[in-house]
Amino acid sequence: MTKHNIIKHFYLSLFAGVLVSCSGNGSPYFADIDNDYYLRVSPSTISLEGEESATFTITSNVNSWEITGIPDWLILSSISGKGNAIITVYAKANTTEKDRTALLTIKSSESSVNDVTVSINQKKKVFSISPSYLDFEAVGGKNTLTITSSQSWTISYTASWLSVDKESGTGDDNVIVTVEENVTTQAREADMTIKSGTESIIVKIYQKGSNIVFSVSPTDLSFETVGGKNTLTITSSQSWIISYTASWLSVDKESGTGDDNVVVTVEENVTSQAREANMTIKSGTESFIVKIYQKGSNIVFSVSSTDLSFETVGGKKTLTITSSQSWTISYTASWLSVDKESGTGDDNVVITVEENVTTLAREADMTIKSGTESIIVKIYQKSLEGEKPGDGDNHPPVAPARKIDNK
């Protein structure tokens, strides 16, 4: 029932209620048998789905009655009278997320007659559309949308190539969507907005183009460690876009229309790990995923010694680093230093140790890191008394040097 019909029904019921509450000569009608007053209502419970109306009947022979407890979301055809009456209740749309209830109380003018009540229950707002999108072939055709709503709704759209069998309604309903033939090679889409109360849902309408052509070659690309360029061939009868997330690759164009070549560039892989990424090429409603593979580096990384021993007086020693990539040196001991803390490729590093003026031998870790790998070099120095780290009961044995893999 539309909102217009609901209001029309409301006023017709109002007029009928006036007729029922009057006798044939226009005087109020009520029964008074031996002063035995009564006040009854039927039904005592009314359930409403959404924005709609309903009626209940008052049967009475009291001198007068009055209806109280009316919330602002209800409109009654009459709130007072005498004798019998049919009351029409009109409920406004429930725009809340909860069911709601109003308890109407009908009070009698006679103290000997108990009040009676009518419970008006209205369900919470309900609004959903299924499905959320519609796909059509190039030849066009019909599809059905199912609208579930506790109130009235309207449909709007701007695309000239689609239509619906109804553009408005109240409550649950099915809507037939018709799409004309697409005589172009371009796929097309449109938005259809269904609004109910203060809420709107957008349904996407997709239609394929005629004789659509879309392919990508090849669907996987392999690169050496040093990186480089490879070419993708896109064959398409419409526009296309490319997307990816890997930071180590790029393309010379991310979108286009029709057939084209795309140059894919991959940076050097300076790790020992092979890597891969997905590249998505989308045209219309179709997508191709291209796999990008790249080998890991043949990483070379070593040092000439993993432990260096110094006399009490200190001195210098040379550490040879062999590496296929860049490296860094880190340490915390204040009594040693190096002539360089970073470099690339093979190199020699001079390590200088200060004189040990204490009676305790000492040691320190020096970490050389290249890529994801690390090597720890142990630095030992004798005490003033010539004692080495690990000598005597007070010095536990020194742990052997170790290579740390941070992968």
Total domains in the fold of the chain? 4
Residues 176 and 108 in one domain: no
Question: What average pLDDT does the segment 5-10 reach?
Answer: 49
Q: Which of 274, 294, 314 is the last residue of a domain?
A: 294
Residues 37 and 65 in one domain: yes
Residues 201 and 270 in one domain: no
Q: Which of 270, 294, 318 is the last residue of a domain?
A: 294
Element (H, E) at 3: helix 3-20
Would you say residue 405 has pLDDT above 50?
A: no
User: Percentage of the chain surpassing pLDDT 70?
Assistant: 87
- Give the domain extent around 162: 127-207
Residues 141 and 68 in one domain: no
Q: Which of 106, 122, 138 is the last residue of a domain?
A: 122
Residues 106 and 160 in one domain: no
What is the reported pLDDT for 286? 85
Residues 221 and 190 in one domain: no
pLDDT for 258-290, tens place per residue? 899 999 999 988 887 889 999 999 987 789 999
Q: How far apart are CA 246 and CA 313, in angstroms?
A: 54
Phi-psi category of residue 353: left, alpha or beta, with phi > 0 → left and psi -120 to 50 → alpha: beta
Residues 326 and 385 in one domain: yes
pLDDT band at 187 (very low <50, low <70, confident <90, very high): confident
Give me the CATH number covering residue 251: 2.60.40.10
Residues 93 and 115 in one domain: yes
Q: How far apart are CA 20 and CA 10, in angstroms?
A: 15
Structure token digits, residue 95: 């725009």
Q: Where are the alpha helices (DSSP H) in 177-274?
A: none
DSSP of 6-62 = HHHHHHHHHHHHHHHTB-TTSSB----STT---EEEE-SEEEE-SS-EEEEEEEE-S
Residues 18 and 110 in one domain: yes
pLDDT band at 35 (very low <50, low <70, confident <90, very high): low
Q: Using the structure block, give the residue that is written with the tokens 């009854």.
A: 40
Would you say residue 20 has pLDDT above 90?
A: no
What is the reported pLDDT for 210? 80
Tell me the torsion sign for CA atoms 389, 395, 400, 401. negative
Residues 103 and 143 in one domain: no
Residues 107 and 12 in one domain: yes
Residues 317 and 267 in one domain: no
pLDDT band at 397 (very low <50, low <70, confident <90, very high): very low
